[in-house]
Structure 1
Amino acid sequence: MVKYLKKATNNLSEKMKDIPNRYRFRPEYIRRRRLIAAGIVAVILTVVIVVASLVLSSTAPTTSPNLTNLKSLAQSATKPVWPSYGSGAIGAIGFDGVLAEYGGQSTRPIASITKIITALVVLEAKPLNGNESGPSITLTQNDQRIYDLAVAAGAAVKPVTVGSSMTEREMIEAMLLPSAANYSETLAMWAYGSVDEYLKAADNWLVTNNLIQTKVVDTSGLLPENISNPSDLINLGKLVVKNPSLASIVSLKKATISGVGEVSNSNQLLGVLGVDGIKTGTTSEAGACMLFSSVINVGNEKITIIGVLLGADDRGGQNTDIKALLSSVQPGFKSVKLVSRGQEFAEYKTAWGQTSKLISNKDTSSVIWSDTPISITVQADKVSTLKSGEQKGEATIKVGAKVLKQPLITDGSITSPNILWRLTHF
């Protein structure tokens, strides 16, 4: 526009040169010259007004964000210390599937771990709330017969007093803590009417809970056809921990049961390295087996580790192996700060010299296992103007299969460019 004004002025000067001096000061010429000048000024003003109007009414140019290079959050790998026998795995509540395993996923006899399935299937039909005792169960001559058969089979038992009664909770305690096989059958028959009906319910329950590699043929685990694999057993352990009544029972070191007296838990690791369950099992075919849980503090969170070892030669050796395993895996759960409050993710730099950063508005941390992959992708809007504190983007944080969303806000404002910048960049 400045060039246009200059050109118009030059043209007027050239025309003035062509007019003889004797005409320049005549009244009619002066009037004419004034009219011409006024016209030129009017045109110029019109152009100025139109251009200024267009400039001022136009939106500010958009600015694209420049994404910040983020530092790597890669963690070191954890190497569990596994024994040389059998098979096993570890997992954790809040973490999908199996986190580490050894020995393959072939099915094996699981001995008295079977009783955990019995407890869960019975609680499906006869649920308990928290520490509720549940209904009273009267023992009959048939329960004495079950006891006698279990003794003859060489199973672990606890005595029966015909005519006495115990609560549902007490019977589950008798089945799980000292691993009394006779009470596993008595409990199943009380809940389902017969062992056959119980087994049908157990089959359906296993399918419903996607434990498709697990099969039970009795209530106690005495027979070698009671089988499972490490992956299914990790998921079974998670179901126990998520059931408050059962979780509280398997954590007991001792219990006093009506008609039986005081019983002790066969799990000798309770209280060691955070162990608070779940079930031991031993037969000649299965060897020593153990499904266990361990609670540890990681940052501000409590993490429950689920583990299983199958096929040990003896209980004492397996206990030593479980302690070595837990000592190796517990440090593998780490609280990692993924995002810090005020951390920069992008920056806006306008053509007219203003800047604003895109930052996080809070700290975000997550407990991860071992070298679980962590990635962060940033979505940031294009902007023309913005206010400080506006959300203009989002960080998507992937921690393994878990996805977290982090809002991103601006740390300063961006206003429209001034009139001078607009005129010189129109």
Structure 2
Amino acid sequence: MPRPVRSPRSAVRRPVTIGVVAVLLLAVGYLVAVAVVPFAPASATTTTYSAPTSTLPDLRFPGYGATAVQATGFPESLRTSGDTEPRSIASITKVVTALVVLDAKPLDRGASGPTIRFDAQMQALYAEYLAQNGEVAPMPDGLQLSEYQTMQVMLMKSANNYAGALALWAFGSMGAYQRAASTWLEAHGLDHTTIHEPTGLDPANQSTATDLVRLGQLALADPVVKEIVGTQQVTVPGAGQIENSNKLLGLDGIEGIKTGTLDQAGACLLFAATYQRGGRQVTVVGVMLGGRDHPSLDVDVRTLLRSVADNFQVVTLTHAGQTFGTYSTPWHDDADAVADRAAEVLVWGDTRVTARTRLDSVTLGDRGERVGTVRFTIEHHDPVTVPLELERSIEDPGLWWRWTNPFRGVETTAAAGPTAAAAPTAAAGPAPAASAGRWGLAA
């Protein structure tokens, strides 16, 4: 049979069809590849943190003697003025006596403690101390008081005969008291304090202002002593009505601690005051030694305390929603990394604040998604870390953008991981190593 004859046109059509199919397959492959290829993480940049600033008043110290003051829990707040050498401390000695006796004869809060029977040796102290022009309180024959009541008379009225009686009751002799006091002082790091007897009538009972601030903090830490020195008036059987010798008690938040008066020491006051600052209570402990008299000393104490209280400030580290970084995508969809909550800290005086931002690697994300942290370092305080979240969603740009922007922003092996402000990667853009500011100025 004769073979069919192929048309020349048919022979040409086959390569054309194959070419068209190939082009279509390539186009489909391209569209599929562009549609599924993963994007690299959005580029991230951190913002510069500006620490808040404020001008604060100087402290108002007197021009005499020795003074020290500190807010408990704020070690940076310790400030001093005047003498740094030990000075006579007069009846502030009785705070040491109270704490030394309580160390040997502990009292639970609210308890009266054992009964003290005042013997002839104790009663003889009345005439002895009165002859030295010292403060005394009645101690009639046969008087019996609790340990707590005896301490009330000693600390509130500053009665020397009751201080001596406590020392004899607890330790048996004045020499034994002195040895116990020395041991207690050493154990509590009061290395510049010397106590020879329990009343303060001996001018050789000496201490430094900074040691006395520590003593005041120890006194307030003891619930029995704190309660007694904060009591304005009480009636004690045999001793009568006892009024606190501290005339500042209850004024300007003052809650103690102990007066002292001696020719060699001048007018003295170990004091404490509590304030509400930044939603919390803060206690300031201080001492003034060597005043002319108590009325003028009291004025100086109140002036100093007001200036100390004015140095407490609440620093707002960040507001909720404050921007600490920005993510940028190739399709021009930007989203900020913002603080998910406000953060603040109570500080005293001149305080340095720095911030360090860390941004996670983000490609797509939903609004509110956590994307990093900002860590605040506050001088003299524990650091504060605040999570960062996306202020708005980063959404996929869609197929059309992918098809019309082939392989823009695709993931490569050089894509960046999490970004720290201190070590920006190529994907992070410029970022400060850390941001800092001085907050406040104080003496």
- Work out whether the TM-score is over 0.5: yes
Question: What is the TM-score normalised by the length of structure 2?
Answer: 0.80
**Match for residue 150 of structure 2 among 158, 168, 171:** 171
Structure 2 distance, partners of 1:203, 1:180, is: 22
Structure 2 distance, partners of 1:384, 1:268, is: 68
Does the C-alpha gap of structure 1 residues 72 and 35 become closer, same or farther in structure 2, counting only changes over 3 Å?
closer
Note the C-alpha offset of 1:401. Answer: 0.3
Q: What are the ranges of 5 or more consecutive residues in structure 2 without an aligned counterpart?
A: 1-5, 411-443
Note the C-alpha offset of 1:175. Answer: 0.9
- Paired letter, 2:331: W
The residue matched to 2:150 in structure 1 has which SS? helix
Q: How many residues align?
A: 400
The residue matched to 1:423 in structure 2 has which SS? coil
Q: 1:76 touches 1:370 (CA, 8 Å); kept in 2? A: no
1:413 aligned onto 2:397: no
The residue matched to 2:69 in structure 1 has which SS? strand
Question: What is the TM-score normalised by the length of structure 1?
Answer: 0.83
1:92 aligned residue: 71
Q: What are the ranges of 5 or more consecutive residues in structure 1 without an aligned counterpart?
A: 1-21
1:135 aligned residue: 114
1:278 aligned residue: 257
Any idea what the Cα deviations from partners look like across 1:348-389, whole Å, max 9, x if unmatched? 222332333222233333333233333333333333333332
Q: 1:64 touches 1:381 (CA, 8 Å); kept in 2? A: no
2:26 aligned residue: 44
2:9 aligned residue: 25
Does the C-alpha gap of structure 1 residues 330 and 145 become closer, same or farther in structure 2, counting only changes over 3 Å?
same
Q: Supply the RMSD in Å over aligned alpha carbons.
A: 2.9
The residue matched to 1:65 in structure 2 has which SS? strand
Q: 1:98 touches 1:234 (CA, 8 Å); kept in 2? A: no
Does the C-alpha gap of structure 1 residues 72 and 281 become closer, same or farther in structure 2, counting only changes over 3 Å?
same
**Match for residue 365 of structure 1 among 339, 344, 354:** 344
Structure 1 distance, partners of 2:213, 2:385, is: 32
Note the C-alpha offset of 1:33. Answer: 5.9
The residue matched to 1:121 in structure 2 has which SS? helix
Any idea what the Cα deviations from partners look like across 1:310-341, whole Å, max 9, x if unmatched? 11122222122223323433323233333222
Any idea what the Cα deviations from partners look like across 1:219-254, whole Å, max 9, x if unmatched? 122222222212222222222223222112111121
1:317 aligned onto 2:320: no
Any idea what the Cα deviations from partners look like across 1:378-426, whole Å, max 9, x if unmatched? 3333333333323333333344301341322312333455454373324
Does the C-alpha gap of structure 1 residues 259 and 388 become closer, same or farther in structure 2, counting only changes over 3 Å?
same
1:56 aligned residue: 36
Please list, as runs of the form range in 1=range in 2, the aligned pairs for 1:327-366 lying within 5 A after superposition: 327-366=306-345
**Match for residue 206 of structure 1 among 185, 190, 194:** 185
Task: Name segments (4+ residues, structure 1) moved above 6 Å.
Answer: none
How high is the sequence identity, in percent, across the aligned residues? Answer: 32
**Match for residue 359 of structure 2 among 370, 380, 388:** 380
2:211 aligned residue: 232
Does the C-alpha gap of structure 1 residues 376 and 49 become closer, same or farther in structure 2, counting only changes over 3 Å?
closer
Does the C-alpha gap of structure 1 residues 386 and 222 become closer, same or farther in structure 2, counting only changes over 3 Å?
farther
- Paired letter, 2:248: L
Greater relative contact order, per chain length (Cα 8 Å cut-off, separation 6+): 2
- Paired letter, 1:163: G
Structure 1 distance, partners of 2:47, 2:100, is: 54
The residue matched to 2:376 in structure 1 has which SS? strand
